[in-house]
Amino acid sequence: MTKKYFGTDGIRGTVGTPPITPDFVLKLGWAAGTVLARHAGDSENKILIGKDTRSSGYIFESALEAGISAAGVDVRLLGPMPTPAIAYLTRTFRAKAGIVISASHNPYYDNGIKFFGSNGRKLNDEIEHEIENMLDQPMKMLTADSLGKVRRIEDARGRYIEFCKSTVPHRFSLKGMRIVLDCANGASYHIAPDVFEELGADVIAISHQPNGVNINLDCGSTYPAALQKRVVEEKAHLGIAFDGDADRVLMVDEHGALVDGDELLFILAQDRAARGVLEGGVVGTLMSNFGLELALKDRNVPFVRANVGDRYVMEQLDQRGWLLGGEASGHIVCLDQTTTGDGIIAALQVLAALQSQSIGLAQACAAMGKAPQTLINVRGANRAGFEKNSDVVQAMAAAEEGLAGRGRVLLRPSGTEPLVRVMVEGEDAALVQTLCESIAAAVEQAIA
């Protein structure tokens, strides 16, 4: 059954445009509180709310708080916190659910609502359908003596910092390492620098002064150019870039070269396989670089592709009983450490892997060998049936012929933004770029 509001990662859109409006979010809080109360299990009668640094977060925090309280469920406010921190704290506080007010890597004028269940995992489809059905019902406030109570958790930041540090060995130390951290002016601004400093690193933080509208603005994992430049200028060992809610991470090696999620996933898989703790194989996505697949195959590590989106990566991991998966965008899941994609924890796992092999980031990436890949995001609202457009079909056929069976072409509508992702992969970088641009031009005309 198609969902009306929920996408691949909660509900997201432009602030002030339905459904990202205070009245809708108020009712969403009430609907979620009502539904989740039915699935209490052993959890306590409370829901946690966290947010990133967007100025609109204050409005939607208040709306959710009122709606949940009206449903008779207590609220615990966390303030600005990374999305994976809410997942962790939801479990440790035995809460019914955790809610994150964030649009992840999107600009400040977007916002969204993400949910975690009491187990620290994204809500399943059945519960999301129940919440949507409840949204169609009239909102009924409980009597005054039954309303939920609200208070703030003052030590949430410290709890999460200690959890992050606990995911690496006790003797692990970053002493002697100079690391540049790009916090995307987002939720990690007051957490990531402390994590790495407390582990001994000489930290140079950038984009760590949020003002409500500069989140993801020419910074973070979506715009890593400033980080690449700063790593070279500071003669740092490496750089780490998070997105606005810190569930994604990309890195920069000592030469200023960008290291994407596929390469980070390879480093983690290779290290775990070498230590005999991989437990199965690796889940990538349709967008994962072909070089990752080949490098893992050479090392006898099983690899499968899921649909794009962390929920689909998680589905494959759960079905197979595997622990490691992720996306080129930097959303990496280490189920041996936590329940969801976590940028800070993934970065720590990579650093631990580098230490165990006594190599630098550039050397570790060289062992994979990426296939030339071009990705173009084409923005447009009229995406229905675009893949059947004659010009798009013709451009796709020409690309397939040009690649001659030695590459891949992928068209994928985004589940979180009004755009189509055009990806071409092959052996010849110049040809890949030309073919991708040709397809993107056809798609642009089709969805304009």
Per-residue pLDDT tens digits of the chain, which is 448 residues long: 689 999 888 999 999 999 999 999 999 999 999 999 888 666 789 999 999 999 999 999 999 999 999 999 999 999 999 999 999 999 999 999 999 999 999 999 999 999 999 999 999 999 999 999 999 999 999 999 999 999 999 999 999 999 999 999 999 999 999 999 999 999 999 999 999 999 999 999 999 999 999 999 999 999 999 999 999 999 999 999 999 999 999 999 999 999 999 999 999 999 999 999 999 999 999 989 989 998 999 999 999 999 988 889 999 999 999 999 999 999 999 999 999 999 999 999 999 999 999 999 999 999 998 999 999 999 998 898 899 999 999 999 999 999 988 788 999 888 778 899 999 999 899 999 999 999 999 999 999 8
- The CA R_g of the chain, rounded to the nearest whole Å, is 22
Q: Kindly state whether residues 57 and 128 are assigned to the same domain.
A: yes
> Which of 56, 69, 102, 104 does the annotation list as catalytic?
104
Whether residues 204 and 114 fall in one domain: no
Query: Residue 82: is the preceding peptide bond cis (ω within 30°)?
Result: no
pTM: 0.90
- 65 and 49 Cβ atoms separated by less than 8 Å: yes
Q: Tell which residue, 10, 46, 43, 15, has the closest CA to residue 28.
A: 10
- In whole angstroms, give the CA distance from residue 216 to residue 16: 20
Which CA distances in Å does 257 have to 157, 246, 254, 275, 397? 32, 21, 7, 27, 33
| φ, ψ (nearest 5 deg) of residue 173 | -140, 140
Q: Is residue 4 part of a domain?
A: no
Query: What was the pLDDT predicted at 8?
Result: 81
Indicate which CATH number applies to the domain containing 233.
3.40.120.10
Task: Give the total number of structural domains in the chain.
Answer: 4
104 classed as catalytic: yes
My answer on whether 250 and 332 are in the same domain is: no
Q: Is residue 6 part of a domain?
A: no
- Looking at the structure, tell me whether residues 82 and 175 fall in a common domain: no
Joined together, the tokens standing for residue 216 give 């993801």
Given 232, 257, 282, the domain boundary residue is 257
Are 140 and 248 contained in the same domain?
no
Question: Where does a domain end: 202, 233, 257?
Answer: 257
What pLDDT, on a 0 to 100 scale, did the predictor assign at position 40?
A: 65
**For residue 3, is it within any domain?**
no
Residue 202: domain span: 160-257
pLDDT at 359: 96
Q: How far apart are CA 219 and CA 226, in angstroms?
A: 7
Residue 2 resides in a domain: no
Residues 422, 48: Cα–Cα separation, whole Å: 37
From CA 154, how far away is CA 294, in angstroms rounded?
47
> Sheet harboring 419-425: ordered strands across?
373-379, 419-425, 408-413
